[in-house]
Amino acid sequence: MSVVSSVLVPYASYLRVYEPLAAFGEPERGHWTRYARRVDLPTAQDELRGSLAGLVPTPPVAVPVQESGDAFVAVVDGTICVCPWRTRMRGWLAMSELGGLFPATVLDAVLPPVVRGQATADYERWAERNPDARPWIRTTVWHVPVRWFVLFDDEERECVTDGGAEGRLLRYRTPMVQARRRLARALRTLRETVDEGPLTEGLVEVGRWLEEFHPRAMVELDYGGLVHALSSERLAGDRSAADVAEGIAALRSGDHDAAGVAYGRLAERWRAVRDLQSSN
């Protein structure tokens, strides 16, 4: 894999699903079984470096020519689980969001219209042949969507603030069955207490995505590069999943004032992070 040195993971967060090997049919199951035995498993940093290397040539390579055969690997209750990168598919999906992230002049300079047009055409042909394909990884930049926190409990939070530039970490991991249960309960509470809105719609969409995976999978929320945008104190004090759970519990009990306080605390925390996007 091509390497661009001294590059940190960008300010993005990730929602990942790790599935047991039994969820995959052959020959893919055999590939992941052999892959999980490797001692030199690549990291998210490696994927980023490879993607950035694709932007160096002229014209740039917007989306990998071939699909990645890499994955994240985790052992869950003694069972090997994998989260395929599917970098090519995720690259195509990310292309549709670029217009809302960059001014047209910047976007055209980085990825000329002819390059984006070719990538879009390639994706449309691929999607016709793979109508049921879905990513194992979802990505957002400069924040973590509120709907993602609904899937987790504060006790599942893992935080490392003193691991150096490469070792800082904030993530949550939970069994798929717990994630689905929490989402269903939160969705029921919102529909009973507030008007239909973006959070409700977002939960429905995430729920449909989760239903595509094996019931014994694991769900992970990883702050990714966002940990580099936060001081150690702010990282240690970030209890966003607890704030979301507190707000939903308050709505369930009819205490809208307490729900507003919890949501306000959450909104202020992430407003401060998103403001960094426009700072110098």
Residue 163: per-residue pLDDT: 65
Angle value at C-alpha 108, between 66 and 70, nearest 5 degrees: 20
* Helix, coil or strand: residue 211: coil
Residue 53: per-residue pLDDT: 64
Partnered with residue 156 across adjacent β-strands are none
Tokens of 30: 């055999």
pTM (predicted TM-score)? 0.88
Partnered with residue 170 across adjacent β-strands are 159
Residue 105: per-residue pLDDT: 80
The tens digit of pLDDT for each residue in 151-175 reads: 999 999 999 998 665 678 999 999 9
User: Would you say residue 280 has pLDDT above 60?
Assistant: no
pLDDT higher for 243 or 231?
A: 243
Residue 7: per-residue pLDDT: 44
Contact status, residue 279 vs residue 195, Cβ threshold 8 Å: no
pLDDT higher for 45 or 139?
A: 139
Residue 146: per-residue pLDDT: 95
Return all residues near 120 (Cβ < 8 A) that are at least 6 apart: 92, 95
* Helix, coil or strand: residue 137: strand
Angstrom distance (rounded) from CA 272 to CA 152: 22
Angstrom distance (rounded) from CA 88 to CA 84: 11
Averaged pLDDT score across all residues of the chain: 87
Angstrom distance (rounded) from CA 152 to CA 273: 21
Average pLDDT of span 183-210: 95
Angstrom distance (rounded) from CA 149 to CA 154: 9
User: Helix and strand tally (H, E) in the chain?
Assistant: 12, 7
Average pLDDT of span 59-77: 86
Average pLDDT of span 85-107: 79
pLDDT higher for 118 or 278?
A: 118
Average pLDDT of span 229-254: 95
Angstrom distance (rounded) from CA 39 to CA 133: 29
pLDDT higher for 43 or 266?
A: 266
Contact status, residue 277 vs residue 11, Cβ threshold 8 Å: yes
Average pLDDT of span 271-280: 76
User: Would you say residue 114 has pLDDT above 50?
Assistant: yes
* Helix, coil or strand: residue 43: coil
User: Would you say residue 227 has pLDDT above 70?
Assistant: yes
